[in-house]
Amino acid sequence: MIKVDDIKKDFPIFERKINGNKLTYLDSGATSQKPNQVIDVMSDVYKNNNANVHRGTYVLSSETTSKYEEVRVKFKKFINAYNSDEIIFTKGCTEGFNLLANSLCKNLNKDDEIILSEIEHHANIIPWQMAAKKYGLNIKYIKIDDSYNLDLDHLNSLLTSKTKIVSIVGESNMSGMLPNIKEIVSNVKSKSDAIFILDGAQLVPHRFVDVQDLGIDFLCVSGHKMLGPTGIGVVWGRKELWDSMDPVYGGGDMIEEVYYDKATWAPVPHKFEAGTPPFVEAIGLGVAAEYLMNITMSEVQQHSDSLREYAKSKLENIDGLNVVHSNSKNAGCTFAMSVEGAHAADISLMLDTYGVAVRAGHHCVQPFHRKLKLDATFRATGYIYNNEEDFDTLAYAIENSIKMLK
C-alpha cells in the first residue's frame, strides 16, 4: 500500500501554508506536483551537463544527448512500447494531437470520417476540427449514457467503411469515466481499418497502460500530469505508421540531407522532432516515470481506486452538492461538482480559504458541460500524495461554504 505521508516528503510544495492552513492539493487533473527527484535532476543538468543534444561531439553534449535518448528507453518500459524509437517527444498532449491530425489527415479522402466522443478534451477536438475543415472530412461523436459512460452501441452504429480515425479519451477529466479500451479497439478494428488514438493525459498517470495489450495505434501523454515538468509530452505510435507519415514541423535535426530545392528526412523518431527539443524537461520526465515505476503502477492504481471510493461516499452525501461522476465501479478519482445558485469560481475561492486547491471552469470540456446544462463546475482530483484526510478537508470546506451561501 502507498504510504502517503512518506510520499509527501518528496514534494517540497506541501511544506507551504495556504491562508494559514496546510495545503490540500486536489488539482492534479490540471497539473501534478513535482517530487524533489525531478526538480533535482533538472537542476543538475543545467549546472553540470547543459549543452544542446545531437549537436556536438564534446563531453557536455555527449552526456546530455545520452541522458535525453535514455528517456525513450525508460518510457518504452513505462508503457510497454515495441521499440524505443516509437517514442516521440512533444510539448504535451495538445501538440501531440495537432501533430497527428496534421500528418494523418492529409492522406485521407474527402468525406472520410473521424470519430470522437462527446466528452473529449478540447485538445482532442480542435485539431481534428481544423483538419476536417482543411481536408473536407466529417466528424462524428459517440454519445454518452446517463452514467456518463460511452454508448458502445452508438459507436458501433457510427462505424463505416469511411471511418479512418477513432480518437477517444482513456479517462474522463470530468467524470472519471474509464472506457474499456481493449473492447472498443477490438470492435473498431473488426468493422473498419481506422487508426485508433488514445488520449492518455489522465489515464497514464494513474494506471498501467500497456500499448501492446490494448492494440492501439497511437497514445498521447502529458508529462506535467504524471509528476514531470511542464512543456514535455510523448506521442507513442507504431513504428510502421510513423515511417509512413510526413513530418509536420521542419527545421534542424529532423533532416538527413538538405539542398536548395529539396530535403530528405531523418529516420524516426527524429523526423518528428524539429529544432532543439526540450531535453532538460525530457530528462525530468524520465525520472518522473521511474518514480512511478518504483512505486509500481499497480499500487498507484490501487490507491486511486481506494481513494475514489472513499471520496465518492463523502461527496455524494453532501446536501446541496451536485456531483458529476461515473456510476461505474471502474473509474478514476476525479469529481466535477456544482452548487445550484453559486458559480464554480466562487466556490473554488471559498475552498481556498481552507487551503483547498481545486479547479473551477469548464476544464476544457465545454461541449460536455453544455450537454449537461452546466456553465461550469469545480473539480477535485486525487493522486498519490492525497489521502482520506484530504477529502475530509474538502468535504468539510464544501459543507461550510454551502452553509455560508444559504
Who contacts 373 (Cβ-Cβ below 8 Å, separation ≥6)? none
Q: Concatenate the DSSP letters of all residues of 343-373 into one string.
A: -HHHHHHHHHTTTEE-EEE-TT-HHHHHHTT
Q: Are 230 and 224 in contact (CB under 8 A)?
A: yes
DSSP E strand boundaries for 180-249? 195-199, 218-222, 233-237
* Cα–Cα dist 244/228, whole Å: 30
What share of residues in the chain are helix, strand, coil (percent, to 5)?
45, 20, 40
Helices then strands, counting H and E runs in the chain, come out as 14, 17
Report in angstroms the alpha-carbon separations of 181 from 161, 166, 168, 283.
Answer: 21, 12, 9, 30
Who contacts 186 (Cβ-Cβ below 8 Å, separation ≥6)? 215
The residues carrying an active-site annotation are 364
